[in-house]
Chains A and B, each alone.
Chain A
Amino acid sequence: QVQLVQSGAEVKKPGASVKVSCKASGYTFTSYGISWVRQAPGQGLEWMGWISAYNGNTNYAQKLQGRVTMTTDTSTSTAYMELRSLRSDDTAVYYCAREYYRAPLDYWGQGTLVTVSS
């Protein structure tokens, strides 16, 4: 069965970086992409960006350009999302989700809470 398992909760200080992992299993990792979505406390879903696990191509939400980097390690079927220069409004639950060209996000990770606080 398809599973996406994310790394554990993080607490970071403003200005620091965080790297969240998402380990995939149950499907051919390189046949799909991974989207990252975040949700601030009490707020809606915000699409952050996408990475192709096939060739590493990426596309990021404009508001995060320059601060976010998404990568994959095909040897371990793991995707990573790194966010730099953290601010308090980056406090959110971060989700990874499996995606395919113009297809919906059909499997999601369990979410990783990132708290940014001094």
Chain B
Amino acid sequence: DIQLTQSPSFLSASVGDRVTITCRASQGISSYLAWYQQKPGKAPKLLIYAASTLQSGVPSRFSGSGSGTEFTLTISSLQPEDFATYYCQQLNSYPLYTFGQGTKLEIK
């Protein structure tokens, strides 16, 4: 099975900061990677798919990059509503999808 490792697991930042979250795959997954945002008590929300394609309606301060085994999610200027937990998911080994362990983004 393909394993995904996110780093860091916890991130403390301030409004206006630029932050980057990394997701590493245990084997190559081309660009079959998605990023989700989850707020407490809510279902995850799709942010980015195909490693770098922004889902409709998602603010442009979110961006994704990478291919193969290393991927990043960047938020260019943190807004108060961005404090949440972020997950990556690989879509290469259909239909055996897996998630990263999550990165909790907290207000400093």
Contacts and interface: CB of A to CB of B under 8 A. Distances in A.
Interface in A19-72: 33, 35, 37, 44-47, 50, 59, 61-62
Contacts of B44: 37, 45, 95, 105, 108
Interface stretch (A7-15, A73-81, A82-90, A96-104): A96-104
A109 B44 CA distance: 10
Interface of A: 33, 35, 37, 44-47, 50, 59, 61-62, 95, 97, 99, 101-106, 108-111
Interface string B80-108: 00000001010110111111111000000
Contacts of B49: 103-104
B32 A105 contact: no
A33 B34 contact: no
Contact of A103 (B1, B43, B91, B102): B91
Contact of A109 (B32, B36, B43): B43
A109 B45 CA distance: 11
A68 B85 CA distance: 28
B67 interface: no
A71 B99 CA distance: 23
Contacts, number: 61
Contacts of A50: 95, 97
Contact of B92 (A44, A95, A102, A106): A102
B92 A105 contact: no
Interface of B: 1, 32, 34, 36, 38, 43-46, 49, 55, 87, 89, 91-92, 94-102
Contact of A44 (B46, B97, B99): B99
Contacts of B92: 102
Nearest to A52: B95
25 contacts: A35-B95, A35-B97, A44-B99, A44-B101, A44-B102, A45-B36, A45-B87, A47-B97, A47-B98, A47-B99, A59-B95, A59-B96, A95-B43, A97-B43, A99-B95, A102-B32, A102-B94, A104-B34, A104-B46, A104-B91, A105-B34, A108-B44, A108-B45, A109-B43, A111-B43
